[in-house]
């Protein structure tokens, strides 16, 4: 349940940004999550609501924006987009794929009331 | 937005509006929002396509597939404040500090990750003896007790126990504080034994040179497929308790094949911390990395 730790960091970053921009209330937070990121959306949602209580983002909506998984195919040498870690290479069908992206967890922006 | 599965339809799961999330099924712990069997009118394939948690054979629930929880951003009404910051940016910055400090002294830091009971501490105890006279220090992460740190000290290496309480992983700040309490020698090896957990430690950089995943043959050959994130993040997998393989019908070749499905570049070493089988290869790997750390230090 490291989603709780993630949300505590989220809260810290959101509060910092709110102070810097003179924002009193945040209504929406957009977070980019890579396809291969070690984060479970359902758990993140649950933790977000609990952790944001008492902050400028209490009751704010958490919007998750998915970023594609990316991998280098060691058989054909192409960099490809993947939905699942265990999918074969969409170009050559090879099974030796080295993840090169898709583990992002990043706050993109927030909406102020 | 649905607050349980995170899909983009705010009506999901609400009274009267829940056309996609069926009425609560008789599945333990998932009551109230109806994330159970596929609702009438949606095929299994459609559930997949919509990224909704759903059952296979009416039993399994699959979260984290498809675009579950990932909505298309709506129309912006308020003021948009750009942030563009990694959620773990503070952890990553602290990890970078740890890494710079360790690199500056030619210390090789290895983050040992595994499930509880894979034999990390037994492996360390034996490793400390076999690495001698190379100095070793250990940071022991557990939720509770200082049993592991005591075992390490008894083996002759300094150790700091970090108890995370309810926490499920070590983070860079905890390791930074532990580093301050260890008398680290230059050109030594620091083992960070993470909390026994194959999920959460994957996301947290501690400042290590490499993550090493330890798994034992008794855990089942498909462990890498069940917990891919941690094995994808690891440079080396140590398959422990190899002496038990014939007794529990485990196939080490299949474990290795599954590891490579997750991470085609992962290195694999088979050991038994009890009999000593394979220890030479493991200790050789560590010495090789230590030399590399020393050369990197000399080059700066």
What predicted TM-score, i.e. pTM, was given to this entire model?
Answer: 0.80
Mean pLDDT on B64-71: 44
Of residues A17, A42, A85, nearest to B63 (C-beta): A42
Are residue B105 and residue B162 in the same domain, yes or no? yes
Of residues B70, B261, B264, nearest to A64 (C-beta): B70
Residue B51: its pLDDT value, please?
A: 53
Are residue B76 and residue B111 in the same domain, yes or no? no
Are residue B110 and residue B246 in the same domain, yes or no? yes
Do residue A63 and residue B71 have CB atoms under 8 angstroms apart?
A: yes
Best-predicted range by mean pLDDT (B21-30, B74-83, B102-111): B102-111
B-proximal residues of A, 26-65, CB under 8 Å: 27-28, 30-31, 33, 36-42, 44-46, 49, 61-65
Are residue B93 and residue B75 in the same domain, yes or no? no
Q: Is B153 left (phi over 0), alpha (psi -120 to 50) or beta?
A: alpha
Chain B partners within 8 Å of A30 (Cβ) = 73
Residue B296: its pLDDT value, please?
A: 85
Are residue B289 and residue B144 in the same domain, yes or no? yes
Do residue A31 and residue B87 have CB atoms under 8 angstroms apart?
A: yes
Chain B partners within 8 Å of A61 (Cβ) = 1
Are residue B34 and residue B127 in the same domain, yes or no? no
Are residue B174 and residue B65 in the same domain, yes or no? no
| Cross-strand bridge partners of residue B86 | A106
pLDDT for residue B45 is more than 60:
no
Are residue B247 and residue B120 in the same domain, yes or no? yes
Closest CA relative to residue B119, chosen from B213, B43, B38, B36:
B213
Chain B partners within 8 Å of A49 (Cβ) = 3
Kindly write down the DSSP assignment for every residue of B139-204, as one continuous string. Answer: EEEESS-SHHHHHHHHTT--EEEEE-TT-SS--HHHHHHHHHHS-PPTT-EEEEE--S-SSGGGG-
User: Is there a contact between B156 and B178 (Cβ–Cβ < 8 Å)?
Assistant: no
Confidence of residue A29 (pLDDT cuts 50, 70, 90): very high
A–B interface: beta-carbon pairs under 8 A: 145
The model's pLDDT over B166-177, given as tens digits with 9 standing for 90+, comes to 888 999 999 999
Q: DSSP assignment, residue B75?
A: -
Do residue A65 and residue B5 have CB atoms under 8 angstroms apart?
A: no
Of residues A5, A10, A21, nearest to B81 (C-beta): A21
User: Is there a contact between A42 and B33 (Cβ–Cβ < 8 Å)?
Assistant: no
Q: A12-16, B9-13, B163-167, B182-186 — which is least confidently predicted?
A: B9-13
Do residue A42 and residue B5 have CB atoms under 8 angstroms apart?
A: yes
User: Last residue of a domain, which of B81, B103, B123?
Assistant: B81
**To probe the interface with A, which of B2, B6, B202 has the most A CB atoms within 10 Å?**
B6
Tokens of B97: 């500090």
Sign of CA dihedral B93, B94, B96, B101: positive
Q: Which residues contact A25 (CB under 8 A, 6 or more apart)?
A: A56, A57, A112, A113
Q: In angstroms, what separates the C-alpha of A102 from chain B's closest C-alpha?
A: 11
Residues in chain B: 300
Interface check for B226 against chain A (CB to CB < 8 A): the answer is: no
Range of the domain at B26: 1-81
Q: A45-49, B74-78, B210-214 — which is least confidently predicted?
A: B74-78
pLDDT for residue B25 is more than 70:
no
Do residue A45 and residue B204 have CB atoms under 8 angstroms apart?
A: no
Of residues A13, A38, A66, nearest to B70 (C-beta): A66
> Percent helix, strand, coil in chain A (nearest 5)?
25, 35, 40
Do residue A9 and residue B88 have CB atoms under 8 angstroms apart?
A: yes
Distance of CA A40 to the CA centre of its chain: 9
Do residue A106 and residue B71 have CB atoms under 8 angstroms apart?
A: no
Please tell me the distance from the alpha carbon of residue B4 to that of residue B25, in angstroms, as a whole number. 15
Residue B240: its pLDDT value, please?
A: 98
Give me the number of domains chain B comprises: 2
Interface check for B228 against chain A (CB to CB < 8 A): the answer is: yes
Distances (CA, A) of B171 to B51, B185, B200, B243: 31, 23, 10, 33
Do residue A65 and residue B70 have CB atoms under 8 angstroms apart?
A: yes
User: Is there a contact between A71 and A100 (Cβ–Cβ < 8 Å)?
Assistant: yes
Pairing state between β A26-34 and A61-67? parallel
Interface check for B88 against chain A (CB to CB < 8 A): the answer is: yes
Please tell me the distance from the alpha carbon of residue B66 to that of residue A83, in angstroms, as a whole number. 8
CATH class as words, domain A3-112: alpha beta
Are residue B68 and residue B104 in the same domain, yes or no? no
Are residue B59 and residue B128 in the same domain, yes or no? no
H-only helix segments in A1-113:
3-21, 41-51
Complex-level ipTM:
0.90
Are residue B108 and residue B77 in the same domain, yes or no? no
Residue A101: its pLDDT value, please?
A: 93
Please tell me the distance from the alpha carbon of residue A108 to that of residue B231, in angstroms, as a whole number. 28
pLDDT for residue B181 is more than 60:
yes
Closest CA relative to residue B174, chosen from A63, A68, A41, A5:
A5
Return the ∠ at Cα B6 (arms to B3 and B10), rounded to 5°.
65
H-only helix segments in chain B:
44-50, 89-104, 120-131, 147-154, 172-181, 223-226, 228-233, 245-248, 252-262, 279-299
Mean pLDDT on B143-167: 92
Are residue B93 and residue B136 in the same domain, yes or no? yes
């Amino acid at each position: 349940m490291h989603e709780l730790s993630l949300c505590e960091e989220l809260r810290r970053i959101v509060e910092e940004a709110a102070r810097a921009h003179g924002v009193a209330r945040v209504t929406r937070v957009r977070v980019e999550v890579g396809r291969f990121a070690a984060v479970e959306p359902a758990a993140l949602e649950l933790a977000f609501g609990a952790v944001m209580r008492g902050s400028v983002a209490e009751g704010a909506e958490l919007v998750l924006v998915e970023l594609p998984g990316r991998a280098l195919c060691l058989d054909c040498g192409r960099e490809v987009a993947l939905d699942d870690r265990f999918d074969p290479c969409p170009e050559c069908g090879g099974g030796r794929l080295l993840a090169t992206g898709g583990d992002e967890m990043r706050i993109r922006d927030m909406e102020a009331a | 937005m649905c607050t349980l599965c995170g899909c983009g339809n705010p009506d999901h799961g609400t009274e009267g509006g829940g056309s996609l999330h069926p009425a609560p099924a008789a599945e333990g712990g998932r009551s109230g929002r109806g994330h159970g069997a596929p609702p009438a009118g949606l095929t299994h394939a459609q559930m997949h396509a919509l990224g909704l948690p759903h059952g296979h054979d009416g039993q399994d629930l699959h979260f984290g597939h498809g675009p579950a929880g990932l909505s298309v951003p709506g129309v912006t009404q308020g003021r948009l404040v750009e942030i563009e910051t990694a959620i773990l940016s503070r952890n990553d910055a602290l990890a970078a500090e740890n890494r710079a400090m360790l690199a500056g002294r030619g210390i090789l830091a290895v983050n040992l990750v595994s499930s509880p009971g894979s034999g990390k501490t037994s492996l360390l105890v034996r490793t400390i003896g076999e690495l001698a006279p190379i100095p070793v220090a250990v940071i022991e992460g557990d939720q509770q007790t200082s049993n592991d740190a005591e075992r390490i000290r008894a083996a002759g290496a300094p150790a700091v126990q970090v108890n995370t309480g309810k926490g499920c992983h070590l983070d860079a700040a905890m390791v930074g504080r532990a580093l301050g309490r260890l008398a680290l020698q230059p050109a030594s090896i620091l083992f960070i034994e993470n909390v026994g957990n194959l999920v959460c430690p994957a996301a947290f950089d501690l400042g290590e040179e490499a993550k090493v995943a330890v798994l034992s043959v008794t855990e089942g050959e498909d462990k890498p497929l069940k917990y891919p994130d941690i094995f994808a993040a690891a440079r080396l997998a140590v398959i422990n308790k190899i002496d038990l393989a014939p007794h529990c019908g485990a196939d080490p070749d299949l474990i290795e094949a599954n590891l490579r499905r997750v991470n085609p570049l992962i290195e694999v070493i088979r050991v038994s911390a009890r009999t000593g089988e394979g220890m030479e290869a493991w200790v050789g790997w560590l010495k090789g990395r230590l030399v590399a750390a020393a050369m990197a230090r000399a080059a700066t």
